[in-house]
A = this chain, B = another copy of it.
């Protein structure tokens, strides 16, 4: 029961869940794809739900890490960073295997508001909103909560539209909208 073995299972499961969905991915498929035995799988994770939650935790951590780091790489001031988020999103949209936001999908498959998976998906969104609210505050705008909320709305919309409309122009339109909203908020 090496700890890194468990991490490896979570990483692989995350890939499959992201690609194929949660209900559509059975434990048998995961056992085959990871090459581990079913017994070992259930030694590491008591239930499928536990495995999903572990995968979502990893995704939350790595996605926010990537996004926030990428934003800081390309922009210096808080105001610029708010806008740079849309460039990062665009990069993400253009990646091979882009399939939209894992947490929107998790919330869609587990709709009950107090289901642990739904709760965790909501928490991811809350953390992102919190971060952008901080950026907006540091940018010195009038109503940081409102601007951050609007920026996040544009981001979510861009993600959903990128999936369903199958192009990346939503990222461009969203970025321009965010720039205008920021300018107004800066007075």
Q: Does B181 contact A125, Cβ atoms closer than 8 Å?
A: no
A173 touches B149 (CB 8 A): yes
Interface residues of A in 106-146 (CB under 8 A from B): 107-109, 111, 113, 121-122, 125-126, 129, 146
Docked pose: A59 CA to B156 CA in angstroms: 23
B-facing mask of A46-80, CB < 8 A → 1, else 0? 00000000000000000000000000000000000
| CB contact between A164 and one of B125, B176, B177 (< 8 Å): that residue | B125
**Residues of A in contact, count (CB < 8 Å):** 45
Q: Is A103 an interface residue (CB 8 A)?
A: yes
Residues of B within 8 A of A169 (CB): 149
A153 touches B157 (CB 8 A): yes
**Residues of A near any B CB (own CB < 8 A):** 19-21, 23-24, 99-100, 103-105, 107-109, 111, 113, 121-122, 125-126, 129, 146, 149-150, 152-158, 160-161, 163-166, 169-170, 173-174, 176-177, 180-181, 184
